[in-house]
Amino acid sequence: MSGGVDSSVAAHLLQQQGHDVIGVFMRHGEHSPAATCPVASESPAALLPLADVRADGKQGCCSAADAHDARRVADRLDIPFYALDLQEEFARIINYFVAEYTIGRTPNPCVMCNTWLKFGRLFQYADSVGADFVATGHYARLVRSPAGDTQLLRGVDVAKDQSYALFGVQRQRMRRMLLPVGEYEKSQIRELAGGLGLRVADKPDSQEICFVTTGEHGEFVRRHRDAGIDTSGEFVTLDGRVVGRHPGIERFTVGQRKGLGVALGERAFVVRIEPDTHRVVLGTHEDLARRAVTADCTNWLADPPHGPFRCQAKIRYNAPPAPATAEFLPGERLSLHFDEPRYGVAPGQAVVCYDNDRVLGGGWIESSRIFPLSATALRFKQ
């Protein structure tokens, strides 16, 4: 229970289904010494600091206020509530986040949190209290097929679908997962919360990285890595012309347009980040076009087909799925060829394959290739 409307209503829906529900808040963000919340561990009465609200006023998650919201909901539903201290485990996610940005890649900590903590570490806690399932408020669905396997599907609310962020969950754990809000539209969830008298019914959705409490990920990376590391360097165009300097590659991601701090007389985008030279390469929107993508560290939630197979694939959480042909490569790698070019393919992000609504699996983008101009011309001629 994060203190938001989705997990709050999820707890209610599980009660309605006859489950004996235990509410759990994960204490894992950056913290302020001023805020405290009871923690259920070796010492249930212990007080540990929790994350403060975002310094820029935006709605994040896992703050002290969120913990209090979650506790109030639990009291309203009359269910037990515990706040678990997972800060040590969450340090692994922070280290990953800092390391990826430092080498010019774009991390996805939410996928890692789902994989390592929410549907990883929490199973250990579930086992310790004799719980059969781990449930969250994710907008995705789980369906048990006639053959007995569990399938992960997109949520009914296409605009809120979060199945992309769950591709890394271990397949065998899906039989012990519950995602009750995935069958609903967001508006229905808020209506249910209002009908229950929950104060979180109109609470804004969390949209930021929970542990970056300032809202500035570049500053966070610099603060959490060795002070001797300097990734500042040059802005260059695709033809190698130097057009300025930047304070560090951790401030940028492929496809970024805003906040570059350099004027070229036309809209400029980050086309490539070169970690060895610390160069940030700028170009036009068309320079971002990519059709071929490779990924590594794949994870599959369905039996992978033999040979090339057709699918729809997403290159980012908020990107629409696009038709592609996928093929397995040696070493748990994946190759995808999109029917049409994709824009802003960022190394370090996940690419996830779908068969209609079903999540097949995916991996972490390691490279992409420029869409051939000759092929573009040929496609339009056809």
Which residues are identified as catalytic? 113, 210
Question: What secondary structure letter does DSSP report for 6?
Answer: H
CB 130 within 8 A of CB 278: no
Residue 369: CB atoms within 10 A of its CB come to: 12
Look up residue 359 and give its amino acid.
V
Helix (H) or strand (E) holding 359: strand 358-370
Rounded Cα distance between 18 and 205, Å, is 28
Rounded Cα distance between 125 and 133, Å, is 11
Rounded Cα distance between 244 and 261, Å, is 9
Rounded Cα distance between 289 and 373, Å, is 10
- Residue 378, both tokens: 């040929």
Place of tokens 């290159």: 315
Contacts of 276 by beta carbon, 8 Å cutoff, 6+ apart: none
What does the chain come to in residues?
A: 382
Contacts of 265 by beta carbon, 8 Å cutoff, 6+ apart: none
Q: How far is CA 255 from the centre of its chain?
A: 18
CB 53 within 8 A of CB 60: yes
320 burial type by CB count under 10 A (0-12 exposed, 13-18 middle, 19+ buried): exposed
Look up residue 12 and give its amino acid.
H
Rounded Cα distance between 281 and 272, Å, is 5
354 burial type by CB count under 10 A (0-12 exposed, 13-18 middle, 19+ buried): buried
